[in-house]
Chains A and B, each alone.
Chain A
């Protein structure tokens, strides 16, 4: 082999600085033993590097020396814990193992992250939908109330229906006599639950004759109930009727008004 060429190939520097591969190291060590020139070249570079680093060094914090001394003394009596691998040039398999392990951890981490994020996202979407529905309901409710308020602002004839049976039934009729259609609205001030299978029915009375104004479907959030229109009336009355209503009242009124 051409020793001179080998020496100037950069293998010497690569070996000394710990950058040669395992195969290159083994070969280099064998050749050093065989060719003194190679060993000399190695020694020359080692000295040059050593000199360079010694001349341009960085002083370690002074407290470290005693700390290291203590550490060394405390372990001086200890048997050397088995054969440590010789100064391997930095990480060979180790780096791949490390990178592989790191990627697995990263992968597991991102899968977990993706799953939890997805779950969270779905929860948030559901919650969002729910809030949206609630908002819609509230808006609708508010609009209805606004409508009712607008109606009440309108000048209308009113009639109070007072309890005739001491059960506290109390309602107010708003009768839009100024409009052509003569709309009738009912506001429930107080109305006990009707007996089961029974419903309240509103009547207008004209010349002693009852006119059906519709069933009263009591709903918690409703302020004004739109009833059937009536052109003329002298009084209003509420009776309790079988579900679905009657053509003529079948019982005495629970509340009545006079106009």
Chain B
């Protein structure tokens, strides 16, 4: 990433963008802004994708799909709803979770959890202890499980409530308090 930055500098291309400028340039299908976007954000998104998918090759596919979607769908980005990065993060996360639900992935990686079965946390201490996973490892077991199931594995509140035999309202409250805890760990 730093190397490419240096190269851009040498070529005299634009080094930084204000977010609004970047969005406008992307909407104009400006390829240079797309390169900037990739160089600046791909690492952060790739980290999240990798932690969801747990497979290097599939993560590459997801990252590619994610950036192609960002390029194609930039029109649908709405500044009033949040920052560009948040929008991209959700695209990346959804694409990664979709990948984990795909047929090929399941054959190789995990079982489909059915209703009522105990869902297994995929967050365990290991080589992917960076970014958000590093933070959620510091949470209490129950909070870690809830963040893992909802954020990293993409289960809905209802599915989690059914699987863990906890009332829906409780799931929601506990996820929120886990998120508040997570935020505190960020600072």
**B-contacting residues of A (Cβ < 8 Å)?**
8-11, 13-14, 16-19, 21, 29, 32-33, 42-43, 45-50, 52-54, 56-61, 64-65, 67-69, 71-73, 75-76, 80, 83-84, 86-92, 95, 98-99, 102-103
Name the residue of chain B whose CB is nearest to the CB of A71. Answer: B68
- Bound Cα distance from A104 to B63, whole angstroms: 32
* Most A Cβ at <10 Å: residue of B39, B134, B154, B179: B179
Distance to closest chain B CB from A45 (angstroms): 6
Q: What's the dominant secondary structure at chain A's contact region? A: helix
Task: From B82, B177, B187, give the contact of A42 (CB < 8 A).
Answer: B82
How many B residues are at the interface, by size bracket? 35 or more
- If A13-B176, A71-B64 are given as contacts, then 7 extra A-B residue pairs at C-beta distance below 8 Å, sorted by A number, are A14-B175, A45-B183, A60-B63, A68-B68, A72-B67, A87-B76, A103-B114
**A-contacting residues of B (Cβ < 8 Å)?**
1, 29, 31, 34-35, 38-48, 50, 56, 59-60, 63-64, 67-68, 71-73, 75-76, 80-83, 85-87, 89-91, 93-94, 97, 101, 112, 114-115, 130-132, 134-135, 150-151, 154-157, 159, 175-177, 179-180, 182-183, 186-187
A sample of 7 cross-chain residue pairs with beta-carbon separation below 8 angstroms, ordered by A number, consists of A14-B179, A19-B150, A32-B80, A43-B83, A57-B131, A80-B72, A103-B114
Neighbouring A residues of B175 by C-beta, 8 Å: 10, 14, 19
Contacts known (A49-B86, A72-B71); A9 close to B176, Cβ less than 8 A: yes
Task: From B56, B63, B85, give the contact of A46 (CB < 8 A).
Answer: B85
Name the residue of chain B whose CB is nearest to the CB of A61. Answer: B60
A60 touches B86 (CB 8 A): no
